[in-house]
Chain A
Amino acid sequence: MRRYFGRKLLTYLMTFFVAATIDWLIPRFMPGDPVAQLVSRSNGISPEQAKALVDYYTRLFGLDKPLPVQYLNFWNSLIHGDLGLSVYGHGTPVTDMIMAAVPYTLALLIPAILLSWWAGNTFGAMAARRKWLDNTALPVGYVLTATPYMWLALVLSFVLAFSFRLFPLSGGYGFNLEPTFTWLFFTDLVAHWVLPFLSLFLVQFGGWAIGMRNMIIYELESDYSRYLEALGAPQGLIRKYAFRNAMLPQITGLALQLGVVVSGSLVTEIVFSYPGVGHLVFAAIQSNDYFLLQGIFMFIIIGVLLANFIVDIVYVVVDPRTRVAMRGGTA
């Protein structure tokens, strides 16, 4: 057991190291000096003012140091949870900006991932071997999972928000509100949350439903199912087993999907200008704020790694075979 997790942990650490280094390279390897871009955006100012600004920002971002030093500083400050300053935010700490955005993204991602996984699998299991469902409902699943996130998002926002005014068009909460602990704010928050959530949920849902449907059909054909049938066990029991066993690959799938969902949330947040991390990424790309990008990606890397690790643990818990294998020492 310890050996297994020890190994995993090591892999994760090395992965993190490599990923983080790649991440650090981003702003350094970008052509064009970010300060120049920042200054060139505040137009109408005199060359002298520009000069002053350039000096100011260069010092601010610590770009005046040699690369190796910058690299060491990067790790050092990373350990202290400092991701540097944002160009797009004119020197606001990147961590602050991310932290302000994270709640939205998590509020979007966690329910979208878990619910779609749960609902999709349940539905897929139902559809499996029920011809009418299989032929009626599943096609919908295929369409959904083949739909680009942003396209669905745009259609939803146009129809439900723009045309029928059922939901707000954009933003994280009403522009007429301030964050307070009141039902008003809370409900408004949810209202703004629904559409982005839905566009993430639906696409995912389709994928899981189909995946589960296929998996469970395999399980229903497996030897243990046939044996149970031969012994007259009711369908209930057989399905229960099949579902349970089909679930396992779906859990692995969950880990593999994370990256996809993150990118999905990115485009979705853009469509609804939902003030989450994805939206921040877009803003950063648009304004060439590589420090911000670097910070966000660092954040995503950690997030995905963490999630993967959790999935690993969960898997061990739910799949006896891995447990047994580990007791045998061979993971």
Chain B
Amino acid sequence: MHLGRYRVLALLAAASIVASACGSSSATSTVAPSTGTTTATATPAAAASATGLPATDTTVYPRAETLYTSGKQWGAPSTWNPFDGNSAMGVVGLQYETLFLYDPIKDAYTPWLASGGSWDSGKTTYTINVRQGVTWSDGSAMTAADVAFSINIYQNAALGSTLFTFVDKVVANGNDVVVTFKGTPAYQEWMQALYNMPIVPAAVWTPLNTADILKSLNMKGIGTGPYTYKTAAQDRMVWVKNPTWWATKALGLTVAPTYIVDIVNSSNNVALGQLLAGGLDLDNNYLPGIAQIVNGGYGVTTYFAAAPYMLGGNTAWLIPNTQKKPLDDAAFRRALAEAIDPNNVVVKDYGNIVAVADPTGLLPVWTKYIDAAQVKSLGATFNTAKAKADLAAAGYKLGSDGFVTNKDGSAIKLNLEVPDGWSDWMAAETLIATDAKAAGININPTHPDYGTVVNDRNGTSTAAPIFDLVINNDVQIGNTPWVYYDYIFRQPQIAAGAARNRNYEQYDNKDAWALVQKLDQTPVDDLATMKSICSQLQKIQLTNEPVIPLWYNGEWSQVNNSVWTNWPSDKGAQVQPATWNGYWQMGAIYMLTNIKPVKAS
């Protein structure tokens, strides 16, 4: 009897789940400017089959044609608006595309939706040749007008873009789009924009281009990319192949998977379990023990077969509050830099899946901008004894507790904050504190709640930033070291509060900022100038240590080869192996054209 009851219950549950799945999606799609397809059709099917359960049109993605990914989505996919930084995995890259691709490894720009682009002789006007034969997923053709519109959309204040602080006009001209600038173009930023701006159909977006542009969820939007929206749920985002993708004809490229199912991140053990069990093909999360697993014969591989296993995705910095004593003293920061042994973190915490950062903090892809000689002479390296000596030299005496004190004799106790629950960083901060203590610097590792960390770091409208030390890795790999220097030296100080996401350390150095702007305004092909400016910036950075580079956070990427093979690796196709925002147009899209099914379906 109870069995009967439970069947009924389960049945009811099933019904309500189907219902809610349809319900919620149709609810959101009312906001979305497009007509429902998949999930919408499920509703009548459900209604029809409410009596008994005949096998109506069920959608099952054949394993051999489906790519399962995870790592980008930190919560249920909730917006498909390409102009929203939190848009679902693949919205920009799989559905909407950009004019160019940029490959950080080769430092090369590849024309994509543009067939080409060029500066005039005076490098004051940029002409984009819009690729012909590109069609939107609704069949209509992409025009220069669409491109011009997509760039001009950044004038919308709601997007808060800085593009039009240096761009003057963007006008379609036949099959070209001509861009003129205000004064010297910010070349670096412009090139960055070229591979980051999603190109959207003017027809659809003109009405949406209002102050509420971000409110439009744009589920099942219309793009040019190799995939279109299939369905989404609390725990997944599903893309289906766009059969009429322009690049097939134009570039002879075809994406291998018919379906891409991106699974919302869950706990480490679940993710790892799925990966090992072959339920997940590509995982872009930080997973513990990858070194063991790669060598454990599970068929799981990473970009490098050995340490550091991962490409460097960004630099983890130790950010001191340069407005507070003693961290306002360059000598002290310098000693701190010498006191810490990032290698400890690399080995003990990450098990060698990350690499120690260069003293300049620049990612390996930017090695050519590093002034090696200068680094050798000025770069701070781990040396407890030296740290102690420098502290003494700088006039920091040891207190009774064996830790150095302020010059006024008051005790020094620096709180190092990382968000509670960020397990790898929590482990790291303990190691860092231990190192620092050995050199006489009393660092107290704390992990308050994330909100507290953000508040202490950014300050609020009412309170200035009160942190001593935090670890941060906000800025990702890109086409130019300028992004890093902008991040470090940004002037003027941004008002305390939520929007404050540059120069956390509040380091004031007008000369440095001048250099950063100069760098921004250097053409990307003028390597010599870029190098010299970078070298000057590095000098400031190495001698003042406004921020202290620790390690290169990996571009976490571990793949299972049981269903798909020929993944990116240093031996094979050297392209970005990440599904994160911004990585598709940095070449990750080639990952999809390269991989091969183990057995054809």
Contact B74 A44 (CB under 8 A): no
Contact B58 A169 (CB under 8 A): no
Residues of A within 8 A of B58 (CB): 177-178, 180, 182, 184-185
Residues of B within 8 A of A283 (CB): 75
Over the window 56-75 of chain B, the binary record of Cβ atoms lying under 8 Å from chain A Cβ atoms (1 yes, 0 no) is 11111111001010000011
Identify B17's interface contact among A103, A110, A170, A182, CB under 8 A: A103
Q: Quick check: which of B130-138, B263-271, B439-447 contacts chain A, the rest being far away?
A: B263-271
Q: How far is the CA of A88 from the CA of B274 in the complex (A)?
A: 24
Contact A177 B60 (CB under 8 A): yes
Please provide the chain B residues from 238 to 281 with a CB less than 8 Å away from any CB of chain A in the complex.
238, 261, 263, 266-267, 269-270, 273-274, 276-277, 279
| A193 touches B (CB below 8 Å) | yes
Q: How far is the CA of A193 from the CA of B458 in the complex (A)?
A: 43
Over the window 40-60 of chain A, the binary record of Cβ atoms lying under 8 Å from chain B Cβ atoms (1 yes, 0 no) is 111111111111111010000
Contact A193 B10 (CB under 8 A): yes
Q: List A residues at the B interface (Cβ < 8 Å).
A: 30-37, 39-54, 56, 86, 88-92, 96-97, 99-104, 106-107, 110-111, 114-115, 118-119, 154, 157, 161-162, 165, 169-173, 175-186, 189-190, 193, 270-273, 275, 280, 283, 286-288
Residues of B within 8 A of A34 (CB): 451
The residue in B269, B449, B490, B498 that gathers the most chain A C-beta atoms within 10 A of its C-beta is B498
By Cβ-Cβ distance, the 6 closest A-B pairs, closest first, are: A32-B451, A52-B160, A107-B13, A36-B498, A42-B85, A273-B266
Q: Quick check: which of B96-104, B166-174, B228-236, B293-301 contacts chain A, the rest being far away?
A: B228-236
Contact B2 A118 (CB under 8 A): yes
Bin chain B's interface residue count: 35 or more
Q: How far is the CA of A184 from the CA of B55 in the complex (A)?
A: 8
> Which chain B residue has the least Cβ–Cβ distance from A180?
B58
Contact A104 B76 (CB under 8 A): no
Interface of A, helix, strand, loop or mixed by DSSP: helix
* Distance between A195 CB and nearest chain B CB, rounded to angstroms: 12
Contact B455 A178 (CB under 8 A): no
* Distance between A184 CB and nearest chain B CB, rounded to angstroms: 5
Contact B39 A96 (CB under 8 A): no
Q: How far is the CA of A111 from the CA of B54 in the complex (A)?
A: 25
Contact A273 B60 (CB under 8 A): no
| B523 touches A (CB below 8 Å) | no
Interface of B, helix, strand, loop or mixed by DSSP: mixed
Residues of A within 8 A of B269 (CB): 154
Contact B5 A54 (CB under 8 A): no
Residues of B within 8 A of A280 (CB): 234
Residues of A within 8 A of B501 (CB): 39-40, 43, 45-47, 50
Contact B455 A275 (CB under 8 A): no
Q: How far is the CA of A36 from the CA of B461 in the complex (A)?
A: 11
Residues of A within 8 A of B160 (CB): 46, 48-53
24 A/B residue pairs, CB under 8 Å, sorted by A:
A33-B451, A44-B581, A46-B162, A47-B494, A50-B499, A50-B500, A56-B158, A56-B214, A86-B78, A88-B76, A89-B75, A92-B28, A100-B20, A100-B21, A104-B13, A107-B12, A161-B273, A162-B277, A177-B61, A182-B54, A185-B58, A193-B10, A273-B266, A273-B267
Contact B57 A179 (CB under 8 A): no
Contact B454 A37 (CB under 8 A): yes
Q: How far is the CA of A99 from the CA of B85 in the complex (A)?
A: 26
Contact B161 A46 (CB under 8 A): yes
